[in-house]
Amino acid sequence: MRDFLPANLRLLCSHYRSVAEVCRKLRINRGQFNKYLCGSNIPTAFNLKRICDFFGVEEFEIGLPTDQFVSLIGGKTRLVTPSREVSAPERIIQHLRQQSSSHLKAYTGYYYEYYHAMTEPGSIICALVHVYEEDQQFVYERNERLQIAGVEEEYEQYRYVGVAYYLQDRMFLIDYESLTSNEISQTILIPSFKSCITRLNGLKMGVSAADHRTPACSRVVWEYLGQEVNRIDAFRKVRLYSKDDPVIDDDLRGRLAQTRVVDGLFVIS
């Protein structure tokens, strides 16, 4: 690539008013970009992808012999139209996606999620979570339901959708409530380094769904169910439980016990 990248890059830049314009749109330092143009330096994998995405070429194409590259891009009319400038949020998400480890693939599947209810202090919520891969990204769906007081077998439904990242041996999951879009929550889990995933410990942060919208923080436990489940059967367990309910076994109770309430805010002891 070092042999042909500089000439090919200069050719691509010729479709713009100046190299300065290209650097400004790419948000790459002009001095660093000049090193790419003269061949004294090769872009990192991250910068190379940014450059290729910007010009509308593939990474393997930009390293082809220049005569082949000229023939190749001759029919690519997209080069004569400046690419859309990537927004700051897009760059941030793209960066996190590239930094996230593929280890996350081992954690796809269904889970029961247990944590202290932010709306009903003293109670524990059991939610159903599905982590899966889509378009080379790891996303998830989390479903909750809360009993309506005084009405038997009637529930309020909550559905959260989000994205997951694996960074430095921690799983970071960020989601929003998809029905109302009025809250964002974050979960941080410690991965299991055993051959068989059973329960994962972590921390959950969000706000209460009640009118006062109290910020809250709770211990959280994810219980692995498998790659495939009967969703109807699994969903029957999704609800609010009291701390002494037999469904909350001693192991779960112990994992969640280090959360206390201070002035309406859940705090980790």
Q: pLDDT of 212-256, one tens digit each?
A: 677 888 999 999 999 999 999 999 999 999 989 999 999 999 999
Predicted pLDDT of residue 268: 43
Report the C-alpha dihedral over residues 24, 28, 30, 35, rounded to 10 degrees: -140
Q: What is the three-class DSSP state of 15?
A: coil
Distance (Å, rounded) from C-alpha 234 to C-alpha 219? 22
Predicted pLDDT of residue 249: 94
For domain 102-268, give the fold. Answer: Lipocalin (2.40.128)
Low-confidence ranges of the chain (pLDDT < 70): 1, 74-86, 149-152, 209-212, 258-269
Task: State which amino acid sits at residue 44.
Answer: T
Predicted pLDDT of residue 121: 77
Does domain 5-86 match CATH 1.10.260? yes
Predicted pLDDT of residue 73: 75
Q: Where are the domains of the chain?
A: 5-86, 102-268
Whole-structure pTM value: 0.65
Predicted pLDDT of residue 151: 65
Predicted pLDDT of residue 150: 60
First to last CA, the chain: 55
